[in-house]
Amino acid sequence: MSSHLRADAPDTTDSRSSVEPLAEGARSPGGRQRTPRAEGHLGSVFWTSVGVSALFVAWAVMFTENLNKVTANSLNWVTESFGWTYLVVTLGILVFLVFLAFSPAGEIRLGKDTDRPEFRTITWFAMILSAVMGIGLVSYGVAEPISHLDTPPHGLAEPGTPEAAIRALQYSYFDWGLQAWAIFAVFGLAIAYSTYRKGRRTLVSQLFHPLLGDRVNGPIGKLIDVLAVFATLFGTTTSLGLGALQVNNGLGRLFGVPITSVSQVLIIAAVTTIFTLSAVTGVSRGIKYLSQGSAALAVLLFVFVLIVGPTVFVANLYAESLGMWATDFFRMSLQGTAFGDLQWMQWWTYFMMAWWISWGAFVGVFLARISKGRTIRGFILGVLVVPSVVFFTWFAVFGGTAIHIDMFQGGTIADQTATDINSAFFATLDHFPLATVTSAVAILLVVMFFVSGADANTYVLSMMTSNGSLTPRRSVLVLWGVLTGVTAIVLMLGGGLTALQNTVIVTSLPFLFIIGGVAVSFYKELAQERRDAKTGEFATTARRGTEGDGRA
């Protein structure tokens, strides 16, 4: 995936000048921003981000119990006091995007009016899917539906019943569907518009120019960028931790590798070395093939399970659960914890929302990079609809297959998942031919997603802390690669999956409000552009009328 962000993307010489990083607060006599004295200037955002990250790592190493206690208490406070905001803000953003797509502003292009898309639509869709179609689909493709079958959401069904099966997929669609992609879409839209149409730096703070004006170059803007860095960092470390747990579980099944924290640390260390070297050396061709190969393996595994699994059952369950999801969409979108279910929401909906939020800036940069020249309407419909359908189908096939095994074949996948959530995917594959081969493919798939995704995250972290530079220094790339791996390791040693989930939820809260601000700021700028266009049309019409009178 990182290859699309860097060298193997098409030549962007024409657009490079519009996204050239600008010095912090530098202004020309005419009020326009100037380019910096040196590209990749390391300012206060870099030093603050690195310093606080180092302090966090030191805290986790020296005072592990205290860190766990603080994050656990913070988690309860955040979810009890502000959990509802995750639901309201994400639904609000989704409604805003749908409104925007069908408004006159939907015709505005992400770039100059004469710009056209760099990629064919089918290629564009494939690249969008590569942005997030990764570790999470293997980690939760079976684990979430089968967990919901065993413990139905909000007590809406009896465990293990047909209704529980439908609810299981319904809530999996919700956690991995429109709201997630709405978060990515609003960031991608705002960044592409700001970068390609307005010529600003590729920084989250620059998206607030309509609301803050020149203050985006001051302390407020720096704070926004630092929060973006931390949200991205902890989103990445969560993915690294989940990947390590999946790989360790798979290797344990195939080769008897001990499923221990030591094994997981070694896996994270090895993968961190690979993706950091990739980010530094820019082995774009290798990462490109890695991304394409992971997509091909995912499709092969999907087709295999669809063919050898209970195809007719899955198709029927897919249709019924999709209907239930559509019918209950707004109820699910606003169902909070007024009458309990806090722990369930922390483990599932709140965690998933926080995870998507933490990935918002990273995926937004990626989507912006590949979407220059598209209309706002085309961007929104493409980003919201196609990935959601693909994700729904993946969960229906893998989750539906596991549900069928447990309900009709005497399987124990739910019990195994309750013991170790990372065993769910492999436990399902064990029920079909070539289990050793498919498990090996699944492990390879996770590793490939692991490397390509972390490589791109390292690049984005480096870019955001290098004043928006598209070519961060190698030393910065190495530093963020190492910090990402070390942070994942200390969290894994400190509390495993629970520590990762707690931290990503707590650190995502400030960024949730930033996302809301991005939507408001973006709408304000679009409204201003529409007003300016109408004023221009009126002036042109008036001028023509005056000229006509003169000729008469």
Nearest residue to 96 via CA among 187, 207, 225? 187
Residue of higher predicted confidence among 523 and 537: 523
**SS3 sequence, 168-220?**
HHHHHHHHCCHHHHHHHHHHHHHHHHHHHHCCCCCCHHHHHHHHHHHHHHCHH
What integer is the mean pLDDT of 326-346?
90
- Break the chain down into helix, strand, coil percent, rounded to 5: 80, 0, 20
Mean pLDDT across the chain, nearest whole number?
84
Q: pLDDT tens-digit profile of 418-468?
A: 999 989 999 999 999 999 999 999 999 888 887 877 777 888 899 899 988
On the question of pLDDT at 259 being above 70, the answer is: yes
* DSSP line for 340-407: S-HHHHHHTHHHHHHHHHHHHHHHHHHHHHH-TT-BHHHHHHHHHHHHHHHHHHHHHHHHHHHHHHHH
User: Side chain identity at 432, as an amino acid letter?
Assistant: F
> Distance between CA atoms of 294 and 134, rounded to whole angstroms?
9
What integer is the mean pLDDT of 55-61?
89
On the question of pLDDT at 25 being above 70, the answer is: no
User: Side chain identity at 38, as an amino acid letter?
Assistant: A
Backbone phi, psi, residue 151, to 5° = -135, 85
* pLDDT > 90 fraction of the chain, expressed in percent and rounded: 51
The tokens describing 335, both together, are 């169902």
On the question of pLDDT at 317 being above 60, the answer is: yes
What integer is the mean pLDDT of 480-487?
91
DSSP tag of 472:
-
Total number of residues shown for the chain: 552
Question: What is the structure's pLDDT at 36?
Answer: 41
What integer is the mean pLDDT of 210-227?
92
> Distance between CA atoms of 383 and 73, rounded to whole angstroms?
36
Question: What is the structure's pLDDT at 29?
Answer: 33
DSSP tag of 39:
T
Range scoring the smallest mean pLDDT among 55-59, 109-113, 224-228, 291-295: 291-295
On the question of pLDDT at 22 being above 70, the answer is: no
On the question of pLDDT at 353 being above 60, the answer is: yes
Question: What is the structure's pLDDT at 48?
Answer: 94
Q: Grade residue 538 by pLDDT with cuts at 50, 70 and 90.
A: very low
What integer is the mean pLDDT of 270-280?
82
| Dihedral sign computed on CA atoms, order 126, 381, 233, 69 | negative
Question: What is the structure's pLDDT at 338?
Answer: 83
Which residue do the tokens 């179609």 mark? 133
On the question of pLDDT at 120 being above 50, the answer is: yes
DSSP tag of 290:
H
Q: pLDDT tens-digit profile of 389-427?
A: 999 999 999 999 999 999 999 999 999 999 999 899 999
Give yes or no for a contact between 278 and 451, defined as CB atoms under 8 angstroms apart. yes
Q: Grade residue 288 by pLDDT with cuts at 50, 70 and 90.
A: low
Q: Grade residue 282 by pLDDT with cuts at 50, 70 and 90.
A: low
Nearest residue to 391 via CA among 484, 489, 441, 318? 318
**SS3 sequence, 47-109?**
HHHHHHHHHHHHHHHHCHHHHHHHHHHHHHHHHHHHHHHHHHHHHHHHHHHHHHHCCHHHHCE
Model pTM? 0.85
How many Å from the N-terminal Cα to the C-terminal Cα in the chain? 63
Question: What is the structure's pLDDT at 17?
Answer: 32
| Cβ-based neighbour number of residue 55 at 10 Å | 10
Task: Go through the domains of the chain in sequence order and give each one's CATH number.
Answer: 2-8+82-537 (1.20.1740)
Q: Grade residue 40 by pLDDT with cuts at 50, 70 and 90.
A: low
Backbone phi, psi, residue 107, to 5° = -85, -10
